[in-house]
Amino acid sequence: MTGRRAAVRVGRWSLPWRPRTAATALAVLASTVVLACVSLAIGDMNISVGRVAAVLVGGGDGGDRFIVLDLRLPRLVVTVLVGLALGLSGAVVQNITRNPLASPDVIGILSGASAGAVAAIVLGTSSTLLIPSMAMAGGLTAAAVVFLASWKGGVEGYRIVLVGIGVAAICSALTSLLLVRARVHEAAQAVVWLTGTLDGRTWTHAVPLMIVVGLVVPVLLVLLHALGALSLGDATAGSIGVRVDSVRVVALVAATLLASVAAAATGPIAFVAFVAPQVMMRVIGSPTPPIMGSGLGGAFLLLSTDVIARTLLPVELPVGIVTVVIGAPFFLFLLMARRRRLTV
Amino acid sequence: MLLVALAVVCLASLVVGARSIPLGDVIAALVDPTGTADHIAVREIRVPRTLVGLLVGIALGVGGALMQGHTRNPLADPGILGVTAGASFAVCVGISAFGITALSGQVWIGILGALVASAVVFAVGSSVAGRDSAPVTLALTGMIVTAILTALTSAVLLLDSATITSFRFWTVGSLAGRGLDQVTTVLPFFLLGLLAALGGSRALNSIALGDELAASLGHRLLWDRLLGVGAVGLLTASAVASAGPIVFIGLIAPHVARAISGPDYRWIVPLSGLIGAVVLVAADVLGRVVIHPLEVQVGIIAALIGGPLFIALVRRRKLAAL
């Protein structure tokens, strides 16, 4: 390539100008906004987009205001933030491990978070803070166990994925153990939660999400450059001044917190964290999963899945089931594509 | 020694429970029942439960050994490779769509589901046999197939709540409340599978050498494979029909058996059955003790014990070596 690459400079910060990345990000953002409007408009009672807009700017009649602001807006916010958190978390973990199959849902972080949240539910708490914090504790524990148990002079390769399968199995056994001991009411609540659903989400679910996403995303923004350097290999990254190990640990904790708080809000929604970075990587044409792009992609993916589940399917299913049915075949496809590359 | 261990856990399984019955009374109940409440508890509840435990343990252990042998994959297990999920899903659809509630009909459908699921997993995983990534591909494919089938199963259950009542046996791995009629319904399938497994175990020794070598030794690989997959399907489906999906027993048992007997599959297959039975009955007894007087399902205990072992196995060596 000849000529200098154009750059965007703001003060002492600069970014390379990549038209395809910017265009993709804009397109995904625009589609997400459109879908968000659709998501607010459709439901048991359809409200026209114009009336939704009226409500959002402060007008509209009482019924519309109640439906849009109190019922559908919290669900929308939860959906977008959970998608964002899962996409970011998946991209970070895939970057750190340099392994597309190692995402928080595959390596058992979501299962750990679920076990923590179920413990909180079974203890009979209705505290809005306890469920997310227990979920985060569970997710961090699972992540720590997975990484320590698969550490053998590095976490390269498939070992982490297999160890993650083992940890996920242990976590779900613990979850069942908790369910056995629970009283019927709490057990029923936990079982519904475990399928991964966006139904009936309120602001109490959205607030912890907003706090954690608001705190963690700036950290990731600071780390973006260092994470990009990590993809060049540890030695190269170290030689350009990146403190490899601390970046990795901080990024992993950030990713785990995001995935866990998402799981606390909606239950474990599988395969978004895995699929979003891989799709966005192919769309943007970048060599590694783009971190911020994956966040956007995750939000778009979850929102569109939710809208599809609510409109096209004859019956309303929990979104966690729909993401598995869409995401799992994609995983198989990727696995076989990798295999072909190995075979050649 | 294994037989002694088996006798011990069986006795423990008869003695331990919500109602504590001294050993002398248990033996009296078996030899000379007098109709007291204790004797009835032993004969009507604990004996069938122990028998089901033995059957399921043998089925899973032998099934695991066959799968590990045929795929030359140390991580193969009917639970991990999605076979149990296939059986569960097929039964769920059978109940919901065709109204099949009789256990014998459910077993047939379960076998069908188990066979289809294992065929899918093998088709994806087997063409890389011998490569370093083969065991991993197979394990991952199994995990994904399990994820899809579990999601579809819960979708069917959510849409049709009437199915749950006759399906719930197939979702929790438990030995509680299993009766003798269940054993007798499943027994023919189980015996047929066991027979096929023992008959095919000699071929596994040659298959372990690689497909080409096995063929040149005069084995008709296709037939051996079909026999093996059929046996796995029969055994897994009868295990799932009796106790629901239980993971990791089929993974652990063959590894312990291999450590005892060396690489000869004519020993590994029957030994895996015995070890599977010991581990399963022991796990069931443990489940009755840990949060006495409540019970923990044997499937949970099996996963809690088996998960760490699985991780240890993954860490221990290069996976391709088997």
Query: Which residue from A61, A335, A196, A56 is spatially nearest to B136, judged by alpha carbons?
Result: A335
Complex ipTM: 0.74
SS (H, E, C) chain A: CCCCCCEEEECCEEEECCHHHHHHHHHHHHHHHHHHHHHHHCCCCCCCHHHHHHHHCCCCCHHHHHHHHHHHHHHHHHHHHHHHHHHHHHHHHHHHHCCCCCCCCCCCHHHHHHHHHHHHHHCCCCCCCHHHHHHHHHHHHHHHHHHHHCCCCCCCCCHHHHHHHHHHHHHHHHHHHHHHHCCHHHHHHHHHHHCCCCCCCCHHHHHHHHHHHHHHHHHHHHHHHHHHHHCCCHHHHHHCCCCHHHHHHHHHHHHHHHHHHHHHHHCCCCCHHHHHHHHHHHHHCCCCCCHHHHHHHHHHHHHHHHHHHHHCCCCCCCHHHHHHHHHHHHHHHHHHHHHHHHHC
Are the beta carbons of A168 and B308 closer than 8 angstroms? no
Average pLDDT for A134-153: 86
Average pLDDT for A12-29: 78
Which structure tokens are listed for B117?
Answer: 């699921």
Per-residue pLDDT, B319:
46
Distance in angstroms (rounded) separating the CA atoms of residues A280 and B267: 51
Of the given ranges (B82-86, B116-120, B209-213, B240-244), which has the lowest mean pLDDT?
B209-213
Residue B12 phi/psi, 5° resolution? -60, -40
Chain A residues with CB under 8 Å of B124 CB are 332, 335-336
Q: Do A321 and B151 touch (CB under 8 A)?
A: yes
Per-residue pLDDT, A344:
32
Per-residue pLDDT, A5:
62
Distance in angstroms (rounded) separating the CA atoms of residues A194 and A115: 10
Chain A residues with CB under 8 Å of B303 CB are 169-170, 172-173
DSSP B291: T
Q: Give the percent of chain B with pLDDT over 90.
A: 1
Could you tell me which chain B residue has the CA closest to the CA of A167? B307
Distance in angstroms (rounded) separating the CA atoms of residues A138 and A120: 11
Q: Do B144 and A177 touch (CB under 8 A)?
A: no
Average pLDDT for B150-154: 82
3-state SS class at B32:
coil
Q: Do B139 and A162 touch (CB under 8 A)?
A: yes
CB atoms within 10 A of CB A8: 11
Mutate to test the interface with B, among A107, A146, A176 (most CBs of B within 10 A): A176
Distances (CA, A) of B68 to A35, A40, B10, B103, B267: 48, 52, 27, 29, 14
Q: Give the percent of chain A with pLDDT over 70.
A: 91
Q: Give the percent of chain A with pLDDT over 90.
A: 13
The count of CB pairs under 8 A between chains A and B is 113
Q: Do A331 and B144 touch (CB under 8 A)?
A: yes
Query: pLDDT higher for A23 or B2?
Result: A23
Query: pLDDT higher for A49 or B163?
Result: A49
Per-residue pLDDT, A118:
86
Per-residue pLDDT, A254:
92
pLDDT confidence bin for A89, thresholds 50/70/90? very high
pLDDT in tens, A191-212: 777 778 888 788 888 888 899 9
Query: Which residue from B3, B37, B2 is spatially nearest to B20, judged by alpha carbons?
Result: B37
Question: Average model confidence (pLDDT) for chain A?
Answer: 81
Per-residue pLDDT, A119:
87
Per-residue pLDDT, B169:
56
Q: Do A339 and B152 touch (CB under 8 A)?
A: no
Q: pTM value?
A: 0.79
Among B residues 162-181, those touching chain A with beta carbons less than 8 Å apart: 172
Q: Which residues pair with A13 in a beta bridge?
A: A10
pLDDT confidence bin for B132, thresholds 50/70/90? very low
pLDDT confidence bin for B127, thresholds 50/70/90? low
Average pLDDT for A64-73: 81
Which structure tokens are listed for A204?
Answer: 């109490």
Q: Do B315 and A150 touch (CB under 8 A)?
A: yes
Q: Do B314 and A180 touch (CB under 8 A)?
A: no
Average pLDDT for A2-16: 65
- Minimum-distance CB partner of A170 among B148, B294, B303: B303
Could you tell me which chain A residue has the CA closest to the CA of B251? A166
Of the given ranges (A59-68, A274-283, B167-176), which has the lowest mean pLDDT?
B167-176
- Minimum-distance CB partner of A177 among B133, B296, B314: B296
Q: Closest Cα of chain B to A261: distance in Å?
A: 22
Per-residue pLDDT, A343:
39
Chain A residues with CB under 8 Å of B291 CB are 181
Per-residue pLDDT, A1:
43
pLDDT in tens, A316-339: 778 888 888 888 888 777 777 665
Average pLDDT for B243-249: 81
Residue A13 pLDDT > 70, yes or no?
no
Q: Closest Cα of chain A to B136: distance in Å?
A: 7
Per-residue pLDDT, A2:
45
- Minimum-distance CB partner of B155 among A101, A158, A321: A321
Per-residue pLDDT, A88:
93
Which structure tokens are listed for A300?
Answer: 């778009």
Q: Give the percent of chain B with pLDDT over 70.
A: 76
Token match 């923990």: residue?
B296
Q: Do A180 and B148 touch (CB under 8 A)?
A: no
Distance in angstroms (rounded) separating the CA atoms of residues B68 and B71: 5
Q: Do A343 and B131 touch (CB under 8 A)?
A: yes
Mutate to test the interface with A, among B315, B316, B317, B318 (most CBs of A within 10 A): B315
